[in-house]
Amino acid sequence: MKVTAALVKELRDKTGAGMMDCKKVLVEADGDIDKAMDLLREKGLSKATKKADRIAAEGLTRVAFNADHTQAAIVEVNSETDFVAKNEEFVSFVEKLAELAVENDVTTMEEFTALPYEGEGTVNDAVIQKTAKIGEKLSFRRFQKLATPGTVYTGYLHGGGKIGVVVGIKTEASFPEIEVVGKDVAMQVASMSPRFVLEAEADPAWLENEKEIAKQQLLNEGKPENLVERIIPGKIKAVLKEVCLVDQKFVKNSDQTVGEYVAEAAKTLGKDMAVTEMVRYEVGEGIEKRHDDFAAEVAAQQAAAQQK
């Protein structure tokens, strides 16, 4: 079959690969565009593999909801640079993954990456292809879906998606009725980064660690050991008020807590509301980021040149 310019263009439009690469694989595939796409994917995989040792710590978070906000999802996809994180195709990709998370009942990354993705094979295939096309290592890092019965979800993106938050409010009210309150609480989560929604949810291991820290602080301050155990509960209570969402001072009105703000809004609405869930993703948290030292790199290059 003759490889025409129109066929090359069609393959390029479908894959984003270079014109010469498209022509070469079309010749190799004897004009079969599906086979040529497979060949490009294979070549794309080879390119992506070379990027596997790079650090992808930039990127975006996105949130998505079903029609009545009774289901929600949040995803994080990483790139190597902030420049790529602003790429229109990358942004669209992250948004579509968030939508997929809402639309499907998958619980593991393995299940998610095996989902079909818009004619590009699976989600995993799409990540590989976009890594090759965009030219940076991309990493679909994590996702979470929330769909607790009787809960309405709202969300908030900060810094264009550097921080993403989903908040769940248990209520009989509709999304439009709780939208403002939900967004206010989500903004609180974004800015104050609480660990838990309620004090009762505090992780026992974390609590024990905090108690040990408080004990050592008190002993270092010279407090008598027989008084330390009596002082610790008060110190832990103060810490919990800082890390539990409903007990935090509300950023929009420090005269009340988040729980008091929600209760006041519920009273005004005439319908009960209680914050019961939250998820906060911050791009790159926990990833060791690369810190390029340009001056050191130049010096190393000059030293190498002098040795030649």
Last residue of a domain, one of 216, 238, 260: 238
Long-range contacts from 247-253, C-beta under 8 angstroms, 24+ separation: 247/199, 248/188, 248/192, 248/194, 250/184, 250/188, 251/187, 251/188, 251/191, 251/192, 252/184
Write out pLDDT tens, residues 57-69: 789 999 999 999 9
CATH number, domain at 22? 1.10.8.10
pLDDT category at 185 given cuts 50, 70, 90 is very high
Regarding whether 90 and 34 lie in a shared domain, the answer is no
CA angle 286, 288, 290 (to 5 degrees): 145
Residue 155 lies in a domain: no
Residue 245 lies in a domain: no
Regarding whether 63 and 30 lie in a shared domain, the answer is no
Enter the tokens of residue 198.
């309620």
Which residue type does 151 have? T
Residue 190 lies in a domain: no
Regarding whether 96 and 56 lie in a shared domain, the answer is yes
Residue 100 lies in a domain: yes
> The domain containing residue 34 runs over which residues?
5-50
Regarding whether 102 and 32 lie in a shared domain, the answer is no
d(C-alpha 44, C-alpha 125), whole Å = 10
Q: Are 7 and 26 in contact (CB under 8 A)?
A: yes
Regarding whether 125 and 64 lie in a shared domain, the answer is yes
Residue 13 pLDDT greater than 90, yes or no: no
Q: Which helix (H) or strand (E) holds 75?
A: strand 72-79
- Of residues 156 and 55, the one with the higher pLDDT is 156
Residue 94 pLDDT greater than 80, yes or no: yes
Residue 257 lies in a domain: no
Q: Are 31 and 1 in contact (CB under 8 A)?
A: yes
Residue 67 lies in a domain: yes
Q: Which helix (H) or strand (E) holds 46?
A: helix 33-50
Regarding whether 120 and 64 lie in a shared domain, the answer is yes
- Of residues 193 and 56, the one with the higher pLDDT is 193
Last residue of a domain, one of 194, 215, 238: 238
Mean pLDDT of 234-240: 91
Regarding whether 35 and 60 lie in a shared domain, the answer is no
Helix (H/G/I), strand (E/B), else coil: 273: strand
pLDDT of residue 213: 87
**Domain count of the chain?**
3
d(C-alpha 105, C-alpha 96), whole Å = 15
Residue 192 lies in a domain: no
For the ranges 125-139, 240-254, 273-287, which has the lowest average pLDDT? 125-139
pLDDT of residue 221: 87
CATH number, domain at 86? 3.30.479.20
Residue 170 lies in a domain: no
How many CB atoms lie under 10 A from the CB of residue 106?
A: 17
Give 297's contacts (C-beta < 8 A, 6+ positions apart): none
Regarding whether 143 and 57 lie in a shared domain, the answer is yes
Regarding whether 65 and 44 lie in a shared domain, the answer is no
